[in-house]
Amino acid sequence: MIRVVVVDDEALVRSGFELILGAADDIEVVATTTGAEAVDAVRREGPDVVLLDIRMPDVDGLTVLRHLRALPDAPVVAMLTTFDADEYILTALRSGAAGFLLKDTEPDQLAQLVRTLCAGGVVMSPKASRAVWQSHPGATAADDQEAARVGRLTEREREVLVLIAEGLSNADIGSRVHLSAGTVKDHVSAILTKLRVNSRVRAALLAQRAGLLDGRNRSEDRR
């Protein structure tokens, strides 16, 4: 079972996520809580995944994220937001969040996104991440220099990077490009080293910034 804690200041959002995820056979929502009680709940329940509201009146979501990331057995944390271009999203991703979900995510997609998070994948809408980059005041020259490192990757590494940005796990990437999970792991390690980043999320952001996902974004926009 994938153990999940939902952190949001709105009781309706918490109960909605609990109801939707609880319908999945392999997911158990072990706690729902406000931001003020989030860290204690995570320490007590030891979840695999935390869905954390980024904007809460009692405790800022970024503050909760920092506390959760500092725990000895830190869970995977994805941020919840209402806005595609939330100005805090990029800061959260740089602080160790494994992705972000819009609160109006389709119910039939929510359980699969939680499974992706638990498997080590990235959950980040290309369309929304593009809006984040464009709206965030820090996404300027320094970020463009980081994105330029994508040019150092081999063709195969760029292919794997795009699949990382799509949220695929190593096993899923291997199935897509007909490589063993071990070989994919080696490619991922090389990608992170060449891009000088320490997480798949940061690598996915650079892929977006470098334009590797533009074709997919246009297809998504048409849908």
pLDDT, residue 127, reads 53
C-beta of residue 139 within 8 angstroms of C-beta of residue 86? no
Residue 137 has a pLDDT of 47
Is residue 68 within 8 Å of residue 77, measured between CB atoms?
yes
pLDDT at 144: 63
Q: Is 105 left (phi over 0), alpha (psi -120 to 50) or beta?
A: beta
**Tokens 């109006």 label which residue?**
104
Beta-strand relationship, 2-7 and 49-53: parallel
The predicted structure's pLDDT at residue 200: 85
- The letter for the amino acid at 113 is L
Tally DSSP H helices, then E strands, for the chain: 12, 5
pLDDT computed for residue 121 by the predictor? 80
In this predicted structure, what is the pLDDT of residue 4?
97
Q: Report d(CA 41, CA 7) in Å as an integer.
A: 9
Query: Partners of 102 in the beta sheet?
Result: 81
Place of tokens 């799509």: 166
pTM of the model: 0.75
Q: Which segments in the chain show pLDDT lower than 50?
A: 137, 139-141, 217-223
pLDDT in tens, 33-64: 999 999 999 999 999 999 999 989 888 899 99
